[in-house]
Chains A and B, each alone.
Chain A
Amino acid sequence: EPEVTQTPSHQVTQMGQEVILRCVPISNHLYFYWYRQILGQKVEFLVSFYNNEISEKSEIFDDQFSVERPDGSNFTLKIRSTKLEDSAMYFCASSDYRAGDTEAFFGQGTRLTVV
């Protein structure tokens, strides 16, 4: 069964460092998303991406965040200068909007720890 793959599963970084979280969406999907879940809190939408541009973003997704689809398979989330409060589980998801009856398939997440 096709699945969304995220790497690494766990990343530790120092405050102020840049970090890139990587995702391989399901191959025929067109919409891509990032969500995050701070420990003990709700899963929160960050951004959606379609046709090589951001289609929607939340207020959390400020200038320190960026997304990119550098090639035909990867979808990345970059955090330019990490803060302690960026520590969270980050989920990538993808969906086939063309199906008209869509659902988002989630990866297993990357746990980011900022120290």
Chain B
Amino acid sequence: AQSVTQPDIHITVSEGASLELRCNYSYGATPYLFWYVQSPGQGLQLLLKYFSGDTLVQGIKGFEAEFKRSQSSFNLRKPSVHWSDAAEYFCAVGNNAGNMLTFGGGTRLMVKP
């Protein structure tokens, strides 16, 4: 069965600092991997996805993520965090091109001025 672990429940960073959110997955085949962001009262917005090809993927809002098969990881990064990035971030793995997503527990990001 597929599963996703986000080890950090809460992270606080200063505005302008770099960010890395960790995600580890378990899946028997080549995974389809996603990062979603959820702002308070909002739905889930896709930041980026990995299906195949280049293991470093670029997303919206200056985010990127790197797929590392050997470590079963898909960590999300941003070089310089903005106050508006404060939100909850979810990593997810999909089967069959994303038709059933399994989500991690989420990481709540807080940004200090």
**Residues of A near any B CB (own CB < 8 A):** 4, 31, 33, 35, 41-45, 48, 55-56, 58, 91, 93, 95, 97, 100-109
Looking at B18-26, B63-71, B103-111, the stretch in contact with chain A turns out to be B103-111
- How far, in whole Å, are A43 and B104 apart by their CA atoms in the complex? 8
A-B contact pairs, 19 of them (CB 8 A): A4-B43, A33-B99, A33-B100, A35-B101, A42-B103, A42-B104, A42-B106, A43-B44, A48-B100, A56-B99, A93-B44, A102-B97, A103-B46, A103-B49, A104-B98, A104-B101, A106-B43, A107-B43, A109-B43
Q: Which 9 A-B pairs have the closest CB atoms?
A: A108-B43, A106-B44, A43-B103, A106-B43, A102-B97, A42-B105, A42-B103, A102-B98, A45-B100
Interface size on B, residues (CB 8 A): 22
Instruction: Please give 11 more A-B residue pairs, beta carbons under 8 A apart, in addition to A41-B105, A45-B102.
Output: A43-B92, A43-B106, A48-B100, A56-B100, A91-B43, A93-B44, A95-B99, A100-B97, A103-B98, A104-B46, A106-B45
Query: When the two chains form their complex, are residues A103 and B34 in contact, meaning their CB atoms are under 8 A apart?
Result: yes
B84, CB-defined interface residue at 8 Å: no
Name the residue on A nearest B43 (C-beta).
Answer: A108
Name the residue on B nearest A92 (C-beta).
Answer: B43
Docked complex: B48-62 residues within 8 A CB-CB of A = 49, 51
Question: Which residues of chain A come closer than 8 Å to B34, judged between CB atoms?
Answer: 103
Query: When the two chains form their complex, are residues B36 and A106 in contact, meaning their CB atoms are under 8 A apart?
Result: yes
Q: A91-B44, A103-B46, A108-B42 are in contact. Are A55 and B97 (CB under 8 A)?
A: no
Docked complex: B73-113 residues within 8 A CB-CB of A = 90, 92, 97-106
